[in-house]
Amino acid sequence: MFNYNHSHPEIRDAVSKLCEGFDGKYWQRCDADRAYPSEFVQALTDAGYLSALVPEEFGGLSLPISAGAAILEEIHRSGGNAAACHAQMYTMGTVLRHGSDVQKARFLPGIADGSLRLQAFGVTEPTSGTDTTALRTVARRDGDEYVVNGQKVWTSRAEHSDLMLLLARTTPLEECVKKTDGLSVFLVDMRDVRGRSLTITPIRTMMNHSSTQLFFDDMRIPADSLVGEEGKGFRYILSGMNAERILIAAECIGDAKWFIEKASIYAGERSVFGRPIGKNQGIQFPIAKAYSQMRAAELMLHEAIRLFETGENPGEEANLSKLLCADASWAAGEMCVQTFGGFGFAEEYDVERKFREARLYQVAPISTNLILSYIAEHVLKLPRSY
Ligand SMILES: Cc1cc2nc3c(=O)[nH]c(=O)nc-3n(C[C@H](O)[C@H](O)[C@H](O)COP(=O)(O)OP(=O)(O)OC[C@H]3O[C@@H](n4cnc5c(N)ncnc54)[C@H](O)[C@@H]3O)c2cc1C
C-alpha cells in the first residue's frame, strides 16, 4: 500500500510474492493448532532465503545484513511470522566467526541448502533468567567427549532443529576471575541425543512459538562440538548480538507496517454514523502517530545496518533499533486493535494474532529493561545497575 523506496527491492518483491502463498488462514490454522509452519519454512528454504547470510563458499548467497533484514521485514509486513526460522540467520554467524574450518566445512553447506537446520539457541535457564553468567548447565570434559548436565528453558524451535548452539559452564564460577569467563559454546547435533540424554518438552505460550524446555542428563557430545576456545563462549555469544538486534528490529518494523496498513485500509472502509471511521481525527491521528513512530525507529535501524555493513561495532545503534522498533510495533498494534474496535478481537482479521506475536519483542530475545541498562551504562556512562 505504501511505497517506502527501500533497499533490495527485488528481494522484497520476491519474498512478498512467496508470502502470498501463506495467507491469514494459514497462519490462523498454525496458531490455533500451535503447529510449526513447516510448509512456509520449507518454501523459504527452497528459495534460498534462509541461507542469505551464509558465504558463497559454503553454498549461501553471501548477502549483507540489510538483505537479511529486508527478508524478515517483508515476512512480517505480509502478516506472517519469521520467528519459526529467524534464529538460523543470526546463530549461524557464531559458527562462521568462531567455528573451526572443519566445523564450517561440515555444517555450513547443509545449513545453506536446508538439509541441516540450526534453529535452536540454548542460553536462558529457569533460575538464571537474564543473568546469563549465573547459568547452571555444566559441560565436563571426559576424554574425547563433553558430558552435559542441566536444564534450559525457552529454547525455541528445538523440536524443529537438527543442531543447537548451546551455552554451558565449563569452569565453575568460583574458579573464574570474571563471571563472564568459564562459559563455552557448543554446536550440538541433537539428532544423536534427542529422546535419550536430551529430553525436550514443549511450553504452550500466548502465541505460536514452538518454545521448549530442555533437560540434559549426562548428555555425551563429541569434544569437537566445542566452538572456538573453551571458556570464551560468553564473548562469542555477545559478538552475535548486534546482528540479532538488527534482524529482530526489522521484524518489528514489518509488524508495525502491517498494523498501520491494516488500520488505514479498515478506517477508510468501515462506515459508522454514515461516514468512514477514518474521517474522525480520533481514529486518523493515532494511525498517523504510529506511522511517524515507525518511520523514526526505522531510521535508527537503517543507521545500525549502515554501520554494521561498514564493519563498525554499532552496539548503541543496534540496541536502540531493537528498543525503538519493538516499541513502534507494539504502539502500532495497540492502535490497530483500537481502530478495528470489536473486530480487532476476532481471529479472522489476524489483528489479535499479530498483537500477541508483537508483544514478545518487549521481552525476548532481550527485554526492554536490559537495553535501557545497556544505554545507561555504556552510552551515558551511568553506574552499572546489576
Ligand atoms: C517465547 C519466547 C521465546 C524465547 N526463545 C529463546 C530462545 O530460543 N533461546 C533462549 O536462550 N532464550 C529464549 N527466550 C528467553 C528470553 O530471552 C528471556 O525470557 C528474556 O531474556 C528474559 O529472561 P527471563 O524470562 O528469565 O526474565 P527474568 O530475568 O526473570 O526477568 C523478569 C523481568 O525482570 C526484568 N529484570 C531482570 N533483571 C533486571 C535488571 N537488572 N534491571 C531491570 N530489569 C530487570 C527483566 O527485564 C524482565 O522484565 C525466549 C523467551 C520467550 C518468552
**155 Cβ inside 6 Å of ligand 1:** yes
pLDDT at 67 over 80: yes
The answer on pLDDT for 342 being more than 90 is: yes
Residues 6+ apart with CB under 8 A from 81: 27, 37, 75, 208, 357
Q: Evaluate: CB of 154 within 6 angstroms of ligand 1.
A: yes
pLDDT reading at 2 higher than 80: no
Query: How far is it between the farthest Cα atoms of the chain?
Result: 78
* Ligand 1 center to 282 CA (angstroms): 36
Provide the b/e sequence for 210-228 (b: ≥16 CB within 10 Å). bbbbbebeebebeeebbbb
Give the pLDDT mean for 127-149.
97
Mean pLDDT over the full length of the chain: 97
The CA dihedral of 224, 228, 229, 233, to the nearest 10 degrees, is: -110
Share of the chain above pLDDT 70, in %: 100
**Do 219 and 140 contact (CB within 8 A), yes or no?**
no
User: For atom 2 of ligand 1, which residue has the closest CA?
Assistant: 154
Q: If you average pLDDT over residues 317-338, what whole number do you get? A: 98
Query: Which residue out of 357, 367, 373 has the highest number of ligand 1 atoms within 8 Å of its CB and is therefore the one to mutate?
Result: 367
The band of 72, judged by pLDDT with boundaries at 50, 70 and 90, is very high
DSSP state of 140: E
Answer yes or no: is pLDDT of 3 > 80: no
Q: What is the whole-number distance in angstroms between the Cα of residue 372 and the centre of ligand 1?
A: 14
Q: How far apart are CA 175 and CA 27, in angstroms?
A: 49
Mutate to test the pocket of ligand 1, among 124, 211, 362 (most ligand atoms within 8 A of CB): 124
pLDDT of 6 = 81
* 365 C-beta closer than 6 A to ligand 1: yes
Q: Report whether residue 121 contacts ligand 1, using a CB cutoff of 6 Å.
A: yes
Can you list the positions of beta strands (E) in 42-162?
118-122, 138-142, 145-153
Question: pLDDT class for 386, splitting at 50, 70, 90?
Answer: confident
In the predicted model, what is the mean pLDDT of residues 204-229?
A: 98
207 Cα nearest atom in ligand 1: 1
**pLDDT tens digits, residue range 291-313?**
999 999 999 999 999 999 999 99
Q: What distance lies between CA 239 and its chain's CA centroid? A: 16
pLDDT of residue 32: 97
pLDDT tens per residue, range 240-278: 999 999 999 999 999 999 999 999 999 999 999 999 999
Q: Which of 81, 123, 130 to mutate to test the pocket of ligand 1 (most atoms within 8 A of CB)?
A: 130
Cβ atoms of 80 and 208 closer than 8 Å: no
Q: Give the pLDDT score at 182.
A: 98
Q: Looking at residue 281, what is its pLDDT?
A: 98
Ligand 1, residue 205: give the atom nearest the CA: 1
Q: Supply the DSSP symbol for 194.
A: B
pLDDT tens digits along 9-40: 999 999 999 999 999 999 999 999 999 999 99
Closest ligand 1 atom to the C-alpha of 370? 47
Atom of ligand 1 nearest to the CA of 120: 8
Residue 1 has pLDDT above 90, yes or no: no
Cα(169) to ligand 1 centroid in Å equals 19
Of 154, 156, 204, 356, the residue with max ligand 1 atoms within 8 A of its CB, to mutate for a pocket test, comes to 154
**Residue 124, ligand 1, Cβ within 6 A:** yes
The grid coordinates of residue 293 equal 513512530
Q: What percent of the chain has pLDDT over 90?
A: 97
Residue closest via CA to ligand 1's atom 28 equals 129
Nearest CA to ligand 1 atom 35: 369
What pLDDT sits at residue 259? 98
Closest CA to 337 of 263, 279, 270: 263
Among the listed residues 157, 155, 173, 174, the one whose alpha carbon sits nearest the alpha carbon of residue 216: 155
Say if residues 154 and 364 touch (Cβ distance below 8 Å).
Answer: yes
CA of 241 from ligand 1 middle (Å) equals: 15
Non-local (6+) Cβ contacts of 166 within 8 A are 122, 137, 148, 152, 185, 186, 187, 188
Q: Could you tell me the three cell numbers for 5? A: 523506496
Q: Which amino acid is at 86?
A: H
- Of the pLDDT bands very low, low, confident and very high (cuts 50, 70, 90), residue 288 is very high
